[in-house]
């Protein structure tokens, strides 16, 4: 959807084994009626055969697969925007710990840039290989990074609870994600060690300059889109709400997709649905002296594909918001 509507970038090829030969519009009837969606057909070409006219490729493949094909495209001179987990971690040992397999292209891990645009804007602009963050990490790192960097919170006290709509599970055809199993159901899962912990802690550790471990509990709730993350933590001595606010205002003063809600309004997934925004609030609890952060994103946009387009815009020198308003 985002590429079909992009004002500058042109979509010239799409690939799929399952849907090879069909047009975009046939596979996704919601796109019918748009000229390009009726013309562009999925091909099942091998990476080597994909149109040499392309300058960029988006890889939306399972982890363990992206790492096997990225190099082919890089070698052909394409720049790669990867939406899998394969290039998010710097350390192949941690990749193996969390994803279970040896990494297929460890030599690329150093080069890959973590595609959190608000934090790594400059690096993304020059990157050959961008690893788009996971949906949970996006909703968690944007609120946490500035506070960790400025050392206003105690990093060993961070407890994170997240709520995700069901599309977060992708389009997996499993009984757990059937309508009647998800509707009227809320449930925690992935306790105690969800895979996204690895990239959350890697980014926080880098920002803090010391090892950070956090508590993270994700939940599935019955809606299509959206993530809420609620983060509770102790603050450094004498830190108050005004200091938190000052850090955020300074950190995100030029970021078109960060909306700072302040200390009274609270985020709601419906306010970010279909958009690339992240909504963030902060509030000190005077009873406990803890800080409570909350954030909302659309897991399919800011949490995945919107963020990927944001990276594309940076890499191409387009306006950062092109195709994303």
Active site residues: 135
Integer angstrom CA distances of residue 224 from 167, 175, 220, 270, 274: 5, 16, 10, 11, 11
What DSSP assignment string belongs to 50-97?
S-TT-SEEEE---TTTHHHHHHHHHHTT-EEEE-SSTTT-S-HHHHHH
**Contact, 145 vs 204, CB < 8 A?**
yes
By CB under 8 A, tell whether 93 contacts its own copies: no
Report the run of H or E that residue 282 belongs to, with start and end. Answer: strand 278-285
By CB under 8 A, tell whether 17 contacts its own copies: no
**Contact, 257 vs 277, CB < 8 A?**
yes
CB nearer to its own copies: pick between 15 and 230: 230
Judged by CB under 8 A, the chain residues 228 through 247 that form the site for its own copies are 228, 230, 232
By CB under 8 A, tell whether 287 contacts its own copies: yes
Judged by CB under 8 A, the chain residues 263 through 282 that form the site for its own copies are 265-275, 277, 279
Query: Which 3 state secondary structure label does DSSP give 223?
Result: coil
By CB under 8 A, tell whether 39 contacts its own copies: no
For residues 106 to 145, the per-residue mask of contacts with its own copies, x marking binding by CB under 8 A and - elsewhere, is ----------------------------------------
Report the DSSP beta bridge partners of residue 275: none
Which among 49-57, 100-108, 121-129, 257-265 is the span making contact with its own copies, rule CB under 8 A? 257-265
Judged by CB under 8 A, the chain residues 148 through 187 that form the site for its own copies are 159, 161, 163, 165-167, 171, 173-175, 177-187
By CB under 8 A, tell whether 254 contacts its own copies: no
Output phi, psi for 219, to 5 deg.
Answer: -135, 150
Query: What secondary structure letter does DSSP report for 235?
Result: B
CA distance 98 to 117: 24
CB nearer to its own copies: pick between 3 and 221: 221
Report the run of H or E that residue 159 belongs to, with start and end. Answer: strand 159-164
By CB under 8 A, tell whether 253 contacts its own copies: no
By CB under 8 A, tell whether 196 contacts its own copies: no
Which among 43-51, 74-82, 142-150, 253-261 is the span making contact with its own copies, rule CB under 8 A? 253-261
């Amino acid at each position: 959807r985002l590429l079909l509507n992009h004002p500058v970038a042109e979509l010239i090829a799409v690939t799929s084994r399952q849907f090879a030969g069909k047009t975009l519009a046939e596979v996704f009837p919601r796109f019918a009626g748009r000229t390009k969606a009726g013309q562009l057909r999925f091909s099942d070409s091998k990476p080597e055969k994909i149109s040499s006219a392309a300058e960029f490729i988006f890889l939306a493949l399972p982890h363990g697969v992206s790492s096997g094909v990225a190099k082919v495209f890089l070698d052909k001179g394409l720049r790669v925007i990867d939406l899998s987990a394969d290039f998010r971690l710097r350390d192949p040992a941690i990749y193996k710990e969390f994803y279970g397999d040896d990494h297929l292209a460890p030599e690329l891990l150093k080069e890959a840039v973590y595609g959190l645009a608000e934090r790594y804007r400059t690096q993304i602009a020059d990157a050959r290989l961008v690893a788009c963050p996971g949906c949970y990490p996006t909703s968690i790192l944007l609120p946490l990074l500035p506070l960790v960097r400025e050392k206003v919170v105690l990093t060993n006290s961070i407890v994170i609870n997240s709520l995700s709509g069901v599309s977060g599970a992708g389009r997996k055809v499993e009984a757990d994600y059937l309508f009647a199993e998800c509707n009227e159901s809320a449930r925690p899962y992935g306790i105690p060690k969800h895979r996204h912990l690895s990239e959350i802690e890697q980014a926080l550790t880098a920002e803090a300059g010391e090892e950070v471990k956090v508590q993270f509990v994700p939940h599935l709730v019955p809606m299509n889109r959206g993530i809420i993350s609620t983060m509770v933590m102790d603050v450094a001595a004498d830190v108050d709400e005004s200091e938190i606010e000052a850090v955020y205002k300074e950190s995100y003063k030029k970021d078109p997709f960060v909306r700072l809600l302040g200390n009274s309004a609270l985020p709601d997934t419906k306010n970010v649905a279909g958009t690339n925004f992240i909504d963030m609030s902060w509030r000190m609890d005077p009873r406990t002296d803890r800080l409570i952060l909350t954030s909302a994103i659309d897991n399919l946009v800011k949490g995945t594909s919107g963020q990927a387009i944001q990276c594309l815009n940076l890499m191409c020198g387009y306006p950062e918001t092109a195709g994303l308003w």
